[in-house]
Amino acid sequence: MSVLAYDLGAGSGRAILGHLNDRGIETREIHRFKNEPVKTGDRMHWDILRLHHEVLQGLTFIKQQGEVPESMGIDSWGVDFGLLGSNGELLGNPYHYRDTQFNGVMDTVCQEITAKRVFERTGIQFLPFNTLYQLAALKRSASPLLREAERFLMIPDLLRYFLTGEAVNEFTNATTTQLYNPVLGQWDRELLAYIGVSEQWFGDAVLPGSAVGQLRSSICHDIGLAPIPVLAVAEHDTGSAVAAVPATERSFAYLSCGTWSLMGTELDQPVISAESMELNFTNEGGAGGTYRLLKNIMGLWILQECMRQWEREGQGISYGSLLAKAETAPAFASLFDPDDALFLPSGNMTERIRQYCQKTGQRVPEDQGSIARAILESLALKYRRVLEWTEQLSEKTFGGLHMVGGGIQNELLCQWTANSIGKPVWAGPAEGSAIGNMAVQWIASGTFKDIWEARRAIRDSFPVSEYEPQDRSAWADAYERFLRITVLSPGTE
Ligand code: LFR
């Protein structure tokens, strides 16, 4: 009963083999690799052929270890895509959603078609890098890509296409584009027509768990593998992560914590209302007919960027040492809104944090510990705000917060999150996306009845650490200040 899950994040990817037996789910990492964007001139790309190579590398290790998975699936970050030409080959190298060519396009599109109309048709939050605005930007710059394109595939669709030769769009990732209409259950014709791309590029979106091909015979031949069925899983990594939340209650709050922090709750229907639009919440499609009412929070990206900058400047520091310094730095000295547009692009992050603090009349953090502390406290405070909004929109009250994803290895962040929200945090599993990817494969094979049976098995198989809130009054005071400061800052929300 083993299945193979590829989970690709913005910084790294992994192939994990999952095995189900009487003791529960056991996982083994088969391959881990970097995912490093490449800049050429002003453009920022994903190194898609390297990623395909790493996927094949994982299959080679599977073969070497004598494993025979029953199926495999790939999930990755959302919104980005590749276009195929008439000969079925990839046109160009997919752009990275942080590429600056997409700047400003969202505002123009939203003025022209109106933000209200876009939201009513998609239920998706306004993020400047959504596929809708990426395609509109390419149209505006008369990109030759659009003249030649015949097929549109999201990143996991594309990697799956390289493996199987079948071009198929998957539902959860399709919803991240802001071009998919969840009410009609199809790509939104009006939005496609507005940006001027052909409906023919898009195939019907298949649901997670659908069989969508098997490994090409040439790959099986080269590696020496028997054909492995390839499934569409919840191919948006956040969809897979939430499928793996080991919740016991139907109504629960989660925080998927990695490069991004995604916070919200799971529902049966999208909430497309004036209020959800005003708070800029999204309704992304999930596994098992669910929707995620959630909000993107800038997440550990800010810390990762600072670490990359220190590395470049010859002041590299390990994660562990940085967190130790953060813990002893002065508390609540410099707070900022992590979702200020200032923090979205890559490069020179420490300077931008200082700029924000200076502008808002706060202590300007200089040393590494103070900067890391400012980031983690600001994130924890923002989590409280977004959790309150989630409760307001869903008309529910949550007894605590489930945290999943690699970010939970940062115990300081888990503890401060519990302190900030004043409720317990249940952290685990760390490999949420890969495990949710497997869960969908096991549901497809009938091994699990549904997502709830899968969640029960996940709960019984992986440790969950509990963090009880501490220092309530200091955090409550800091929250009041945080709200005042973040209102002061332009560009917020
Ligand atoms: C998380 C994630 C988010 C999406 C962002 C960009 O990895 O998939 O859900 O908003 O990346 O694609």
- DSSP line for 185-231: TEE-HHHHHHHT--GGG-PPPBPTT-EEEE--HHHHHHHT----EEE
| Cα 4 to averaged position of ligand 1 atoms, centre (Å) | 22
Is there an atom of ligand 1 within 6 Å of 79 CB? yes
Ligand 1 pocket: which of 132, 134, 176 to mutate (most atoms <8 Å of CB)? Answer: 176
Nearest-atom number in ligand 1 for the CA of 9 is: 7
Write out the H or E segment, with its range, that includes residue 294: strand 291-297
Strand order in the sheet with 465-467: 282-285, 291-297, 261-267, 253-257, 401-404, 425-427, 465-467
Q: Which residues are catalytic?
A: 237
ipTM value for the complex: 0.98
Is there an atom of ligand 1 within 6 Å of 370 CB? no
Is there an atom of ligand 1 within 6 Å of 158 CB? no
Is there an atom of ligand 1 within 6 Å of 81 CB? no
Task: Give 162: exposed, middle or buried? Use CB within 10 Å, 0-12, 13-18, 19+.
Answer: buried
Nearest-atom number in ligand 1 for the CA of 129 is: 6
Ligand 1 pocket: which of 172, 178, 238, 291 to mutate (most atoms <8 Å of CB)? Answer: 238
Nearest-atom number in ligand 1 for the CA of 296 is: 10
Ligand 1 pocket: which of 12, 170, 237 to mutate (most atoms <8 Å of CB)? Answer: 237
List the residue whose alpha carbon is closest to atom 1 of ligand 1: 77
Task: Note the pLDDT of residue 492.
Answer: 41
| Residue 4 CA neighbour count, 13 Å, CB half | 23
Is there an atom of ligand 1 within 6 Å of 13 CB? no
Per the CB < 8 A criterion, the answer to whether 88 and 120 are in contact is no
| Cα 239 to averaged position of ligand 1 atoms, centre (Å) | 10
List, for residues 470-489, the tens digit of each pLDDT value: 999 999 999 999 999 998 66
List, for residues 245-284, the tens digit of each pLDDT value: 999 999 999 999 999 999 999 999 999 999 999 999 999 9
Task: Note the pLDDT of residue 493.
Answer: 44
C-alpha to C-alpha distance for 320 and 369, rounded to whole angstroms: 11
List the residue whose alpha carbon is closest to atom 7 of ligand 1: 77
List the residue whose alpha carbon is closest to atom 9 of ligand 1: 238
C-alpha to C-alpha distance for 261 and 250, rounded to whole angstroms: 22
Task: Note the pLDDT of residue 169.
Answer: 98
Q: What single-letter DSSP state applies at residue 490?
A: T
End-to-end CA distance of the chain: 45
DSSP string, 238-276: HHHHHHT---SSSS-EEEEESSSEEEEEEESS---SHHH
| Cα 313 to averaged position of ligand 1 atoms, centre (Å) | 28
| Cα 158 to averaged position of ligand 1 atoms, centre (Å) | 17
| Cα 78 to averaged position of ligand 1 atoms, centre (Å) | 5
| Cα 236 to averaged position of ligand 1 atoms, centre (Å) | 8
Task: Note the pLDDT of residue 491.
Answer: 44
| Cα 299 to averaged position of ligand 1 atoms, centre (Å) | 11
Is there an atom of ligand 1 within 6 Å of 296 CB? yes
Residues of the chain with pLDDT under 50: 490-493
- The b/e string for 269-302 (b: 16+ C-beta within 10 A; e otherwise) is ebbbeeebbebbbbbbbbbbebbbbbbbbbbbbb
Per the CB < 8 A criterion, the answer to whether 389 and 349 are in contact is no
Q: Which two tokens stand for residue 234?
A: 């919840």
Which of 229, 231, 210, 224 has the alpha carbon at shortest distance from 59?
224
List the residue whose alpha carbon is closest to atom 11 of ligand 1: 77
Identify the three-state secondary structure at position 81: strand
Task: Note the pLDDT of residue 487.
Answer: 81
List, for residues 28-61, the tens digit of each pLDDT value: 999 999 999 999 999 999 999 999 999 999 999 9
- Other CB atoms within 10 A of residue 112 CB: 11
State how far the alpha carbon of 226 is from the alpha carbons of 69, 70, 161, 211, 218, in Å. 10, 10, 18, 17, 11
| Cα 77 to averaged position of ligand 1 atoms, centre (Å) | 5
Task: Note the pLDDT of residue 346.
Answer: 93
Is there an atom of ligand 1 within 6 Å of 344 CB? no
Per the CB < 8 A criterion, the answer to whether 384 and 479 are in contact is yes
> Among positive and negative, which fits the CA dihedral 122, 180, 124, 5?
positive
Q: What single-letter DSSP state applies at residue 94?
A: P
